[in-house]
Structure 1
Amino acid sequence: MTIRVLLVDDQEMVRAALRSVIDRRDGLAVVGEAADGGGAVAEAARLRPDVVVMDVRMPGVNGVEATRRLLAGWPPEGPPPPRVLVLTTFDLDEYVHAALRAGASGFLLKNSPVDQLEHAIRVVAGGEAMLAPSVTHRLLKAFTATPGAFAPPPGPAGRLDRLTDREREVLALVARGLSNLQIAEALGLTETTVKSRVNRVLTRLDLANRVQAALLAHEEGLV
């Protein structure tokens, strides 16, 4: 099945380069483009892509606000919302943290190898998180220095009490960065079962994705 991608960047040359790279990959296809965040929200609603590759710094509506609007305003009926893969130059950490809270599923540096971009699109399309290693390092360092600063929006106390013991185990492994396959191997489950339990954890905790789940697990002391 082809993964349908929407490109969002205010620079036409960057969009053209990304389109050229993505369209040459088997199973990936660029279905549309937008030059700013407002256009991204409109085009995502019209095209219903699987993944939105989103720039951060754009005139008008930036990538963080576009991510928030896109995911918060997605209609409950019909297909699920697209996964958002944010492209960043990494000199704006506050945007990375804000986009996490907005529901972005992945972050990649603009100077990353081409193969890493392809991998990131496939990973987030599959419902998992993708963070560039340096982003992960900086994020966890900042999280450790300022507990709670980058956690998902606050919810009721004792949120983890909603989970079964097995779901807590799954959440802890998600927070350590393991994929569904790795979690399945660690717990002696099938990958399909793990995927189902991860989705149930996200639903019960009112979270948008695995990145928010990982941050909440750290915030609650599970990891």
Structure 2
Amino acid sequence: MHLLLLGATGLVGSHVLNLALADPRVSAVTAPTRRPLPERAGLSAPVVDFDNLPQDPSIWAVDAVICALGTTLKTAGSRERFRQVDHDYPLEIARLAKAHGARTFVLNSAKGADVTSLFFYSRVKGETERDILKIGFHRTVVVRPGLIDGPRQEPRPMEHWAGRVLSILDPILPPSIKPNPPHAIARAMLDAAVSTTSGVTIVPSQALL
């Protein structure tokens, strides 16, 4: 299987990349990024401008797409930019991949994603899910982690302290509110991408422990 991986430099995406390159079910990984990645066997990492995506079939002609793209409002700098990264980029790439034969799309979304949410973050996540589903892949999987427990390149103080508190309380927490480790999310996404089943699957946070 040839995978297209979006967000390979992020917390979850980097775990997906390591797992995919070590997985005998995966023959090749294409991971378009803004900055160069180190060369690794089985990896093609073209540097692209996400605001002006190339139409080159060698990038988009894959079997399955794993999307771990995402940012924060603080990092994005505006609601418009956040929506562009978390909604517009995944949607445009999904259309390109579908047009070039991809049959599966796996999206890393978020717990609480809902197009009717009063919270901007959750509403955009819900809109992304909705619009990806409309494209009509043979198989679409939406993974909805809660708080992701792990070190990030960009500082997220509130998430950091929330993660520490939840880690202390972990033995008594119900599965639905436990932090999700990035390697568990990555494993679920990769397994979903290589599956041969069809239809739509939603993976809740309690399944990502």
Q: Which category of TM-score, normalised to the shorter sequence, fits these structures?
A: 0.3 to 0.5
Structure that is richer in helix per residue: 1
Q: TM-score, normalised by structure 1?
A: 0.45
Choose between structure 1 and 2 for higher RCO, CA contacts under 8 A separated by at least 6 residues. Answer: 2
Q: TM-score, normalised by structure 2?
A: 0.47
